[in-house]
Structure 1
Amino acid sequence: MAMVWSVGAAVREQAVQEGPSSCGATAVLNVLRALGLGSATSADAVEQCVRTRLREQDALLPQYLLSRSVAGATHDQLLEGAEMASEGRVTGRFFSFYPDRAVDLIAWLAGWISKGAVPVATMNMQVAVPEGEEIPDAWHHQMIFGVGPEGIYMTNPLELMESHVVKRRLCSASLLLIREEDVLSHLPQVAGPCVLTEFQDHPAWRELDVVVSNKNTPKCWRNSAGLSASTGDKEILPTFQPVPFFKEHFGAFLLQSQRLQTSLFLPGNPRFGDGMSCDQHCKI
């Protein structure tokens, strides 16, 4: 077992998300608290440093979908927000978990925690949805405060999650599914093609063929290949519009003083994909 906080300490110390799409800022605030810097940092100050982006609820469909693809905070915003809010005392790195990594996730996280790092997971909550539950419409940033034989201890909300569920949500393509009712409610009143011209040459948008027409059936806004998305053993009927989602999956944050005392972020360490790792528990 490796713990940043005990369960009792997590109950006392964790910050809980207060605003829409602000799970990233909440994760950063929890990181700062875990590193002993939270008492001098307010939630509002962290929010200003992270610069959470909101969904543009009143926009027409093209701009609405664009806003959904960047809503919340990217990994770069979390890294910059943590550094700014801590006045340069905290540094971090994020790593992609896609394509799927062959990793002993418990051992890998324990390795980071033993070196003084505080992990943050960015998970696709539309994957590994429990049977009978509604599919969420967002990804989620959560600080990890410990690991053990029972699983992975998460903040916001406080929960103990099985490692295989966390891994499936981490090892996900950067893709967000938008609910049918959200798509239809943002269609323009005038019928006709509605193309996301600003990103039509972006490879991620072009690959998904995100093109929407205003007609009276959900079939009209499936992509041209008749896409239906799959989340593990669940087949999602075409009531979702896929859009690219620009996020990495796992972050580790350290005090700068700890970074100087360890070689975690230096070249020559065991590699994790195209980034760094703290040990040999993970490989592509």
Structure 2
Amino acid sequence: MAQESERHVQAVLSALKILEAFDKDRPLRLKDLHERTGLNRSRILRFAGTLQAAGFLEYDEGAGTYTLGLKLYSLGSLLGQRVSDMADFVRPALKRLAAQSGNTAFYSIRHGFDRLVIAKEESSEGLRFIVEEGSRRPLLFGATGKVLLAHAPDEVREHVFEQPVLARGVGGEGVDKGAMMDELARIREKAFAISRGEATAHGFAVAVAVPVNRAGSIQYDALTIAGPLAKLTDQLAAGYVDMLGKEMQGLSTKLANFSPPMPVF
């Protein structure tokens, strides 16, 4: 018999999938929700109606679109200060990396099966990589996601490979699980990852990421430098590994004493 902590109510999980379909503050139609969740339209309508009644969604009848409700803002503010405190904690390191590299530096944590950016610093140069704080992306793609996935528990990696959306891979060509597991093992061994054009819509970015272990914890975060493909050469990317490694060592020790601690997912 499953323990209480392992039991799931499928209807609740489906309703949460609808909320997680929103990756930006913009309206979504029923068609969008269907494509992003894989749920059939009748179920989406039932769950969305319930979420709307509870204040978690708002519906514009004229436009036929859904937006996130203000109830989420009030709940998010309860956690927001803790995330904000950690973002402020890592920001000096990000500022140094952005200034030294002339590229964007950001810090991410694993949240479930996604990577979540909690802090970023951009260079002042016109040609730069843009990432938003609070943005989420799958763990399977990009240097940041792969660093987090490589250091995640085995059950997380197995779940990621079971997802049909992720299994289609970059550009829809699919992902070879064996090859990917080998790549993740190399990332754990080398303690860094470099990706080219994996996590962006048009494949124009290069990213270099290293794992940050919260000393005394099983949790690993990721510290990343990213820039345009035309600007960030292989030679520069290799140099950024050392740059990131120095900041990683300092952050790892300091984060062990960060209070209150960020949750381990």
In which range does the TM-score fall when normalised by the shorter chain? Answer: under 0.3
TM-score (norm 1): 0.24
Using CA pairs below 8 Å that are at least 6 residues apart, which structure has the higher relative contact order?
1
| Higher helix residue share | 2
